């Protein structure tokens, strides 16, 4: 009987989280040719988060594939925009408008070419910094006041190397392993940010 009571308790706890009140979006490009590319670091990270939370990102909505999860007692929408990277804001803006979620409760996971693979940086807000996905999100949310987790994917081998070719290039296995080794830290940071403690997330995981 104890198992039945435990099940009822879990169901009750799940319903207590209420409607979606936070968005977590991983950025990337859909399609086979983009799998395991540097620009898809956000997709890879959010897939890991969904798996660890027992969630499935498999419904088509808001120009994205989406799923829902409970994090720290908060109902969260997990998103992978299907608009291609440069139009990510179309999807995220649509979801934020539908749920009436302010920019401060929209967390973005994205690739960062300024950092070595496996380095993560957490920011409370900021400019696009040349990242077209962030530029689109800023435009559609009409705000720079959204948190983001920057996932280092490595720097161009030379200044002359074409940026598009670099970010759409496949990860060398060693680089991908460096990033995969930080997934648990990214999930830890996500939990703190959803809880409203981004300072602790920055202090603990931005390294």
Is residue 70 a part of any domain in this protein?
A: yes
In Å, what is the CA distance from 97 to each residue of 22, 86, 100?
12, 19, 5
In terms of residue numbers, what domain contains 123?
A: 20-205
- The rounded mean pLDDT for the chain is 91
Per-residue pLDDT at 9 exceeds 50: no
Give me the CATH number covering residue 161.
3.40.50.1470
Per-residue pLDDT at 207 exceeds 80: no
Q: Taking CA 75 as the corner, what is the angle to CA 70 and CA 76, rounded to the nearest 5 degrees?
A: 90
Is residue 9 a part of any domain in this protein?
A: no
Residues contacting residue 201 through CB under 8 Å, at least 6 positions apart: 122, 188, 189, 192, 193
Tell me 40's DSSP state.
G
Residues contacting residue 94 through CB under 8 Å, at least 6 positions apart: 62, 63
pLDDT in tens, 39-56: 999 999 999 999 999 999
What confidence score (pLDDT) does residue 159 get? Answer: 87
Is residue 3 a part of any domain in this protein?
A: no
pLDDT in tens, 84-120: 999 999 999 999 999 999 999 999 999 999 999 999 9
Per-residue pLDDT at 14 exceeds 60: no
Is residue 12 a part of any domain in this protein?
A: no
Is residue 29 a part of any domain in this protein?
A: yes
What confidence score (pLDDT) does residue 11 get? Answer: 42
Is residue 11 a part of any domain in this protein?
A: no
The two three-digit tokens of residue 194, written as one number: 């959803």
**Weakest-pLDDT range from 13-22, 182-191, 195-204:** 13-22
What confidence score (pLDDT) does residue 10 get? Answer: 46
The pLDDT confidence band at residue 3, using thresholds 50, 70 and 90, is: low
Place of tokens 């999930």: 187
62-84: b or e for each residue (b if 16 or more CB lie within 10 Å)? Answer: bbbbbbbbbbeebbbbbbbbbbb
More confident site: 13 or 183: 183
Which residue among the candidates 39, 110, 131, 140 is catalytic per the annotation?
A: 39
Is residue 13 a part of any domain in this protein?
A: no
Is residue 114 a part of any domain in this protein?
A: yes
Q: How many domains does the chain have?
A: 1
**Is 39 noted as a catalytic residue in this protein?**
yes
Per-residue pLDDT at 15 exceeds 70: no
């Amino acid at each position: 009987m104890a198992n039945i009571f435990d099940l009822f308790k879990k169901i009750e706890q799940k319903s207590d989280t209420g409607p979606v009140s936070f968005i977590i979006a991983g950025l990337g490009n859909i399609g086979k040719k983009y799998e395991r590319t540097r620009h898809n670091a956000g997709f890879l990270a959010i897939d890991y988060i969904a798996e660890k939370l027992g969630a499935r990102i498999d419904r088509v909505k808001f120009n994205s594939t989406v799923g829902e999860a409970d994090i720290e007692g908060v109902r969260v929408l997990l998103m992978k925009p299907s608009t291609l990277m440069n139009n990510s804001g179309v999807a995220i803006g649509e979801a934020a408008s539908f749920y009436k979620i302010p920019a401060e409760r929209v967390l973005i996971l994205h690739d960062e070419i300024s950092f070595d693979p496996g380095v993560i940086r957490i920011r409370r807000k900021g400019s696009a910094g040349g990242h077209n996905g962030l530029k689109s999100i800023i435009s559609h949310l009409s705000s720079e006041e959204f948190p983001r987790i920057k996932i280092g994917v490595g720097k161009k081998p030379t200044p002359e190397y074409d940026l598009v070719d670099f970010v759409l290039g496949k990860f060398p296995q060693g680089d991908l392993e460096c990033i995969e080794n930080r997934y648990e830290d990214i999930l830890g940071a996500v939990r703190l940010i959803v809880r409203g403690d981004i300072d602790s997330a920055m202090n603990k995981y931005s390294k």
